[in-house]
Chain A
Amino acid sequence: MKILLFARRNTKEILRDPTNLFFGLGFPLVLLFLLSVINSAIPAEANNTMFSIENTAPGIATFGTAFFALFSGMLLAKDRTTTFLMRLFASPMTAKDFIFGYTLPLLVMAAVQGVITFLAAAILGLPLSVNTLLAVLVVLPIAVLFVGLGLLFGSFLDDKAVGGICGALLTNIAGWFSGTWIPLDLIGGVFKQTAEVLPFYHSVEAAKEAIRGNFTEIMPHIAVVLGYAVVFYAMAVFAFYQKMKSDKG
């Protein structure tokens, strides 16, 4: 009951901010359409599928979830710095209520964002099938990672610092190392090796394999993402517990 009440409050706080709506929904769609325009400008004889909708849609769906780090981090940081969280810490709410209350609405929003992104991709030519639904589910672990990172930073930093780290730094890292903007093979070297160690590229590849229907190829990629998600979400939970126990609110 308390989890749902808190989740509903957090949903309203996020969705009633027009900036969040733009970055959460509008910006990924704009990027999808822009890449589609670029793709249509590439001559067919070039045989370049870099920006084909089958490649860009999974990339944009993954990249779009990066903004959920910004949403969760900003919300928590603002709740802390305005002492709203102190009021709630003094109430009968438990740590479980807080953690799930912050996380659940963002995961639902991530799923909705994924559905809308793939539907928009369908308008641009992506064939829809059960595999598309699987791709939406495959993108969710990276959303857990981003929400966890947001909660981790939001537990210690103020909203301006969270905005800088999650809004500028993290989204750029996630974008460039996902291989969405430029295929990793085109750059190669240390850049490619780094990208393969990080989870962003693997999330995109897992979604691509889901769309292609190569189900056995999904797990190796998603395992990497899940590993990162578990570690960073656990760190976020630990940080939040520590914050609850401290006197800083």
Chain B
Amino acid sequence: MSAITITNLTKKYGALKAVDNMNLTIDKGELFALLGLNGAGKTTTIKMLTCLIQPTDGDAVLLGDSIKGNPNAVKQKTNVSPQETAVAPNLTVLENLEFIAGIYGQNVEISRASAKEMSSQFGLDDVLSKKAKTLSGGMQRRLSVAMALISNPQILFLDEPTLGLDVLARRELRASIKQLKNKVTIILTTHYLEEAEELSDRIGVMTKGRLTAVGTAAELINQTGTANLEDAFITLSGGEL
């Protein structure tokens, strides 16, 4: 059963088509990786699917609700971890988690319980009373993802969640994301091809606003006749090997 159905989704800025006539269906529980060079249209796509910006044309239906027709319903069942670490710096880890749980409608008791569950799941138990700004980059990013999950979203958008993290922090965060597979529908954008290959069920490649290929890593490699995903990605992005 599909969680996301995207039909002719387009976003124009003047003459520039940031996203050009995208059509895509993502199944429930699927982890879909969206790849592309800088400016390919990945973040614009996520912004449209999270109702942050209106499409110029086309539509997307998320679990039965249109992003154009019923954005409030879409917002209730989705959440996003933005590209940069988006935490309240002077709030403690616990306060950050409880705050997000609260604005998604959880009462004080449920917010507290959810915060404890998320902190346990993301290894934040030891820093619950620390201000977010005092955490390392890796821990802040973990908190950011935990804040995206605390509302129990049915669809989760992770926009380059491991960007700028060291190898160890990246590995730990990937392990956390892996645990979510088949429980939550996830759209992940990343520049790390090994991350996409390791985590995703399917991969979409965007080039200059267009979704140029969709398939498993093996299918993309076969389709391009290349030796690995990196070569396949370069070929699909219009680069030369």
Do A and B interact? yes
Q: A residues within 8 Å of B by Cβ?
A: 1-2, 5-6, 9, 12-13, 16-17, 78, 82-84, 86-93, 97, 245-247, 249
Name the interface residues of B95-126: CB closer than 8 Å to any CB of A: 95, 99-100, 102-105
Chain A hits for B104, CB < 8 A: 91-92
Q: Is the CB of B38 closer than 8 A to any CB of chain A?
A: no
* Contact among A9, A13, A86 for B52, CB-based, below 8 A: A86
Q: How far is the CB of A70 from chain B (nearest CB, A)?
A: 16
A83: contacting residue among B84, B95, B100, CB under 8 A: B84
Q: Which one of B76, B80, B90 lies within 8 Å of A13 (CB-CB)? A: B90
- Chain B residues with Cβ below 8 Å from A83 are 82-86
A9 is contacted by which of B47, B78, B99 (Cβ under 8 Å)? Answer: B99
Bound Cα distance from A113 to B85, whole angstroms: 33
User: Does B91 lie at the interface of the complex (its beta carbon under 8 Å from any beta carbon of A)?
Assistant: yes
In the complex, which of the residues B83, B84, B95 contacts A12, with contact meaning CB atoms closer than 8 Å? B95
List residues of B (167-188) whose CB comes within 8 Å of A's CBs: none
Residues of B contacting A82 with CB < 8 Å?
Answer: 84-87, 89
Cα A195 to Cα B83 in complex, Å, equals 46
- Pairs A–B under 8 Å by Cβ, sample size 21: A5-B102, A5-B103, A9-B91, A12-B90, A17-B90, A82-B84, A83-B82, A83-B85, A84-B86, A86-B82, A87-B100, A89-B52, A90-B50, A90-B52, A90-B78, A91-B75, A91-B100, A92-B72, A246-B53, A247-B44, A247-B53
B88 interfacial contact with A, CB 8 Å: yes
**Which A residues touch B100, using CB under 8 A?**
87, 91
Kindly list chain B residues whose C-beta atoms are within 8 Å of the C-beta of A92: 72, 75-76, 103-105
Tier of interface size on chain B? 35 or more
B83 touching A16, Cβ below 8 Å: no
Q: Contacts A82-B86, A247-B47 given; 7 further ones with Cβ under 8 A?
A: A5-B103, A13-B90, A82-B89, A83-B84, A86-B80, A90-B75, A247-B52
Contact B103 A2 (CB under 8 A): yes
Please provide the 7 A-B residue pairs with the shortest distance between their CB atoms, ordered closest to farther. A83-B82, A16-B90, A247-B53, A87-B86, A90-B50, A5-B102, A83-B86
Counting CB contacts under 8 A, is B34 at the interface? no
With A16-B90, A82-B86, A83-B82: A93-B103 Cβ-Cβ less than 8 Å:
yes
| B79 interface residue per 8 A CB criterion | yes
Inside 8 A of B95's CB, which chain A residues have their CB? Answer: 9, 12
Judge whether B61 is part of the interface by a CB distance below 8 angstroms.
no
Query: In the complex the two chains form, what is the Cα distance from A5 to B107 in whole Å?
Result: 11
Chain B residues, Cβ within 8 Å of A1: 102
The answer to whether A87 and B44 have CB atoms under 8 Å apart is: no
The chain A residue with its CB closest to the CB of B80 is A90
The answer to whether B103 touches A88 (Cβ under 8 A) is yes
Cα-based distance from A199 to B120 in the complex (angstroms) = 53
A182 to B57, CA, bound (A): 60
A7 to B176 Cα, complex, angstroms:
32
Q: CB of B131 within 8 A of chain A? A: yes
B221 within 8 A of A: no
Tell me the complex Cα distance, A134–B230, Å. 70
How far apart are B57's CB and chain A's nearest CB, in angstroms? 16
A9 to B147, CA, bound (A): 15
Q: How far is the CA of A13 from the CA of B91 in the complex (A)?
A: 7
Interface string of B33-49 (1 = CB under 8 A from A): 00000000000100100
Taking the nearest CB of chain B, how far is it from the CB of A128, in angstroms?
A: 35
B213 interfacial by beta-carbon distance below 8 Å? no
Given A2-B103, A16-B131, A83-B84, also A90-B91 (CB < 8 A): no
Any chain A CB within 8 A of the CB of B135? no
B51 within 8 A of A: yes
Query: Which residues 150-174 of B sit at the A interface, judged by CB distance below 8 A?
Result: 151
Among residues 12 to 60 in chain B, which have CB atoms less than 8 Å away from a CB atom of chain A? 44, 47, 50-54
Q: Which residues of B contact A90 (CB under 8 A)?
A: 50-52, 75, 78-80
Chain B residues closer than 8 Å to A91, beta-carbon distance: 75, 79, 100, 103-104, 151
Closest chain A CB from B44 CB (angstroms): 7
CB pair A87–B91 under 8 Å, yes or no, is no
